[in-house]
Structure 1
Amino acid sequence: MGRGGASKDRIDGPHRKCIATGEVQPKFGLIRFVLGPDALVVPDVAGKLPGRGVYVAADRSALETAVKKKLFARAFKAPVQVPDGLVDEVERQLTRRVIELISLARRSGSAVAGYEKVKDMLAKEEGQVLIQAVDGSARGKTKLSTPHFGTYIGFLTADQLGMAFGRETVIHAALASGGLTKRVVEEAQRLKGVRQKDDDGSGHREGKRAL
């Protein structure tokens, strides 16, 4: 597991250098920033905004270092404006991105919610990712186990999972292999890196890879 929760298993694709750590790593484990109007530093979590970009590892301490030491101005080689709460804004955008991807997976039929549906998917060995709300009952969550060679995501709230499934709240969810699952896992890895708390607080028996 690399900085920001990025798995070292994936080494393909373009690499970029983090302006805070100096490490070169795959782009999927970094956060891109561009300059917006009035030289404002803007996070580009989707990596699609126009203009020259600079990169910071998906790691809260790296992001805070970039802000504190004024590394954006050095990287862009120009005066810049860093908005207050930039790191928190990155976290909000990544959270929204993970929720949206899970929602898309649900619409494509590769994501289910609810204890019984999740239990059934796991029993049939169709599930690759187990997702449980951080604020759900620890006792209830331990009744489900992460798929072998799968991934556990346990830091989204019940309200956030509910948004992904069009419900008020969701405690248990699962993703089947294929489809958008790989993207969900990658974005969840980035989000895990920039969150304040590193412990998911679930007391869950982790599988091969927990986020």
Structure 2
Amino acid sequence: MIAAAQTGDGDADDGELVVNDRTCIVTREATDPADLIRFVAGPDGQVVPDLKRQLPGRGCWVRAERALVERALQRKLFARALKTDVTAPGDLGDLVDRLLVADLAGMMNLARKAGQFVSGAMKVDNAVRSGEALGVFHAVDAAADGVRKIDQARKAWRLGTDAEEDIASFKLFTLAEMEELMGQNAFIHAAALAGQAGEGVVKRATKLETYRTSGHSGANGGAGRSRT
């Protein structure tokens, strides 16, 4: 469903913004809030990302793609959508990325405590072959041989179960980035397992990857999801 006409390059036209709880202020495309990022005006007049969609006040939405967040910033769409004199920090795209990263790391730690996130090549391989893994994670600088072996396990699982898709695979952080982010819980290979917390990890990883890679935004960070 499209909330308003779009221009040829996918941007909204320059008419009056149409804003509702499910409309991206850049594309004017109405979609699931899970695929959007909410922004509100903070007490200091700054635009604030509201990832949990809980902050009070009027909000506006941008599809979770860095290129679109930066486009909204460049076109000064936040003030128009929020109908107030707000300013957006020039590093808003980086800020959203950091918040998405922190959200993912927090869910990984929660899933680990719940027994739904394991690390180590052997544990990941076993989780994949047993069908318990919902998604696998590799450090961007992980050894190619280790990644290849887990990819083989993913392929064997898919062929053995006639699944339409492989278990999701992500490369989002270097080992050094993870050590800074997660300390002793940093990993080279890991897997999110079946369960609510494991599902939360995959959901957040997918959103972060989409934010970084959609629209060829050139965002920092590792390679994206693999289905090979």
For the aligned pair, the TM-score class normalised by the smaller chain equals 0.7 to 0.9
The aligned residue for residue 227 of structure 2 is 206
Is this contact kept in 2: 1:128–1:174, CA < 8 A?
yes
The aligned residue for residue 97 of structure 2 is 91
Residues 55-103 of structure 1, C-alpha deviation per residue, up to 9 Å, x if partnerless? 0010111111100000001101121111120110000000010011011
Residues 140-198 of structure 1, C-alpha deviation per residue, up to 9 Å, x if partnerless? 21110246342112122224545676526411000111221222222222211332359
Once the two structures are overlaid, the 10-residue window that deviates more, 133-142 or 48-57, is 133-142
Larger radius of gyration: 2
* Higher RCO by CA contacts (8 Å cutoff, separation 6 or greater): 1
Determine which of 58, 61, 66 is the counterpart of 1:60.
Answer: 66
The number of residue pairs the alignment matches comes to 193
The one-letter amino acid paired with 1:152 is: S
Greater per-residue helix proportion: 2
Change (3 A) 1:186 1:125: closer
**Regions of 4+ moved over 3 Å:** 146-149, 159-166, 196-202
Is this contact kept in 2: 1:30–1:190, CA < 8 A?
no
Q: In structure 2, list runs of 5 or more residues that go unmatched.
A: 1-19, 159-164, 213-217
How high is the sequence identity, in percent, across the aligned residues? 35
Change (3 A) 1:197 1:66: closer
Is this contact kept in 1: 2:42–2:48, CA < 8 A?
yes
Is this contact kept in 1: 2:139–2:174, CA < 8 A?
yes
Greater per-residue strand proportion: 1
* 1:44 and 2:50 correspond: yes
Structure 1: distance between partners of 2:58 and 2:226: 43
How far is the alpha carbon of 1:105 from its aligned partner? 0.3
Residues 89-120 of structure 1, C-alpha deviation per residue, up to 9 Å, x if partnerless? 00000001001101100000011001111112
For the residue of structure 2 that corresponds to 1:24, the secondary structure is coil
Is this contact kept in 2: 1:129–1:152, CA < 8 A?
yes
Q: In structure 1, list runs of 5 or more residues that go unmatched.
A: 1-13
Q: CA RMSD in A?
A: 2.5
